Amino acid sequence: MQSDFKEAEINPLFVRGPSLGLRLLLSIVLAFVLMFSDYRYQHMDKVRSVLTVAVTPLQWAVDLPTQLWSWGATVFSDRNALLDENAMLKERALLLSSKNQRMAWLIAENIRLRELLNAQDGYDDRFMLGEVIGLDSDAFLHQVLINKGRNDGVYEGQAVVDVLGLVGQVVAVSAFTSRVLLIADTSHAVPVVVNRNGFRAIASGTGSMNSLQLTHVPETADIREGDLLVTSGLGGRFPPGYPVAELNTVEHQPGKPFAKVTARPLAQLERSRYVLLLNPREPTPLPEEGGQKNKATASPAESQPETPDNPEAPLSDQNTSGDNT
C-alpha cells in the first residue's frame, strides 16, 4: 500500500500546467512580436512564402472533396441533361460563329482607321487559365485563392477576369498559389470609362458582391442607368476594354456637386470557378541559396537589378488596392 501511494505521488493523474491567463498573455505577446517583425523586417516575406508552400498540400486536400463531387456529378449525370446542354452549346456556337464572320473585316477596318489617325497599336493580351481553390474566411475581405503561382508566371498586380468581366487583381504570390483581391473589396478601385461616350470615372468596391460605387461623378455628367463600364487602361495595370460593371442607379442630389452612382459588377464574383490571368510572365522559380550567395559576392556591375519586362506592373504591396489615377 505504501508503494502505491508513492507511485501516485510520482505520477499524478492530473498535472497542473500554466494558468490560462498566462497562456493567453504569452500568445498575445507572441502575436505582437510576429506582427512587428512582419511590418519592420523584409525577411518575413520569405518566411510567409515558405509557410504558404507548406500549407499548399493542405489546401489541395481541402479542395479534393469538391473535385471528387464534380467528377462524380459529371460521370453520373443524366443523359438527357447532357443532350440538352449539348444542343444549347451548339446553338450558341452557331450564334457566335455568325457574329464572328465579319470579325476579320472589322479588324482590318480598325487597323486602317488607326493608321489614318496615327493611333497607337492596340493591346495583344495573352491569357492563362486559373482555378479558384479557396476563399478568404474573413468577412471583411473579398479575396480568393487560385492554383497558379510564381512558377507559372503570376505576378503581383496582374489583372484577373472571367467569362463576363473583370474579377480583380493579384495581391500576393507564392510558388504554387496566388491570392486575388476582388473588385468588390472596399480597398479596391479601378479606372473605368462609360462605353457609350467615354466618360472617365473610378469604380470602387463597397464590400458587397453586387455593388460598386463611382466616386466624384459631377452632377452634370452624361451617364444613364444601363450604361456599360469598361476598363480605361489608365495607370497601365488593367488593359483597356474589359467589361467591369453596369450602372443601375444614378441619383442626382440637389445642391450637391456630385451625383450618387452605383453599378452592378458583371463578373460572377461569388460563383466563378475558373478565371483568366492576363499577360502572364515567364515563370520565375525561387532562387537557390547558392545563387543568393553568388549574387552577394558579385561585382557591383553584375549586381545591378535588371529592368522588368513590364515597368508599369506594381512590385510592392503598397499599391495593391487598385489604381486611383
Alpha-carbon distance of 55 to 188, in angstroms, equals 27
Helix (H) or strand (E) holding 181: strand 178-182
Written as tens digits, the pLDDT of the chain (325 aa) is 555 555 545 555 555 666 788 888 888 988 888 888 777 777 777 777 777 888 888 888 888 888 888 877 777 777 777 888 888 898 888 888 777 777 777 777 888 887 887 766 555 678 899 999 988 877 788 999 999 999 999 999 999 999 889 999 999 999 999 999 999 999 999 999 999 899 999 999 999 999 999 989 998 889 999 999 999 989 889 998 899 999 999 998 888 889 999 999 999 998 888 999 998 888 765 555 444 444 443 443 344 444 344 433 443 333 434 444 3
Residue 156 Cα to chain centre, angstroms: 9
Let me know the angle formed at the C-alpha of 36 by 34 and 42, rounded to the nearest 5 degrees.
90
CB atoms within 10 A of CB 320: 17
The CATH code belonging to domain 189-265 is: 2.40.10.350
Instruction: Report d(CA 212, CA 190) in Å as an integer.
Output: 10
Residues 6 or more apart in contact with residue 91 via CB below 8 angstroms: none
Instruction: For residue 281, give the DSSP letter.
Output: -
Task: Please indicate, yes or no, whether the overall pTM of this predicted structure exceeds 0.75.
Answer: no
Q: How many CB atoms lie within 10 A of CB 181?
A: 24
